[in-house]
Amino acid sequence: MNTIVMKMGEGRTKSLAQELANYQITNNNPYVSFAAKVSSTTVLVYTSGKIVFQGSGAQGLAESFGYVLENSKAVSPAGQNLSLIGSDEVGNGSYFGGIAVVASLVTPDDHAFLKSLGVDDSKNLTDLKIRQIAPILEDKIPHKALLLSPKKYNEVVGEGKKHNAVSVKVALHNQAIFLLLQEVATPDKIVIDAFTSQKNYEKYLKNEANHFNNPLTFEEKAEGKYLAVAVSSIIARNLFLENLEKLSSDLGYKLPSGAGANSDKVASKILSAYGMEGLHYAAKLHFANTQKALKLSK
């Protein structure tokens, strides 16, 4: 288990409690003034001013608040001393909301700027932090962002339709990268956060109209290895959250992210208010949540 220690006031930690408010947990230690859990990382703020990040994502979360690893050198991270397009998607595992896919071009000249913003895998960042830095990244970093709405998703994904849950992501990643390549210099490398095998990707790619010759690299958890993929994950998460907010506003129900029991309950309310048309507009119908919601609404 990784442990990182900072002091209150170091980096951006003065706003830590505010940024992690939605992740606050109870802690009975009388010397702990604030506690939170973000994904796999626990954050403890002691009355002495010491802040402890503990868990597998400790370093990434601490870096988002300005932590700098001791003895680190001002060089590009290993394997990133080149221009690189990174592609990632968000929303695939959420019942409500669409799928956002983003491809971004990052060069070594961008690294210092990105590190100063606290760019990291979006899973290690709070939604508040993502909403703060995503507009900056959108303005400064060349990228292409695509959003497949739930309504369009339901029209093209499913039995007897053009796509399945994997092939539709192949189409989105390919299109985002293709469009970006039309506007930027040829990168040294293109990395996709692996959601399927390269063989499977190439099988579905044959059905796509747009193709490019640049070789692709598929890596699991690439958003934690390459800044270009991390940038894409942040912009994509922000786009997904914006879409979820719009759908919530349109229907008058706060739509949760994910596919848990809360999604079933909200879906049953939407069914009662709007019928199946409401779910077709806001949710991915082939998820098991649809059948659970139908049972709850009876």
Q: 264 labelled as ligand-binding?
A: no
Contact 35, 27 (CB under 8 A): yes
Q: Is 250 annotated as a binding residue?
A: no
Task: Annotate the chain with three-state secondary structure.
Answer: CCEEEEECCCCCHHHHHHHCHHHECCCCCCCEEEEEEECCEEEEEECCCEEEEEECCHHHHHHHCCCCCCCCCCCCCCCCCCCEEEEEEECCCCCECCEEEEEEEECHHHHHHHHHHCCCCHHHCCHHHHHHHHHHHHHHCCEEEEEECHHHHHHHECCCCCECCCHHHHHHHHHHHHHHHCCCCCCCEEEEECCCCHHHHHHHHCCCCCCCCCCCEEECCHHHCCHHHHHHHHHHHHHHHHHHHHHHHHHCCCCCCCCCHHHHHHHHHHHHHHCHHHHHHHECCCCCHHHHHHHHCC
Length of the chain: 298
Residue 89 annotated in ligand binding = yes
Task: State both tokens at 81.
Answer: 């001393």
**Binding annotation for a divalent metal cation:** 88-89, 193
**Binding annotation:** 88-89, 193
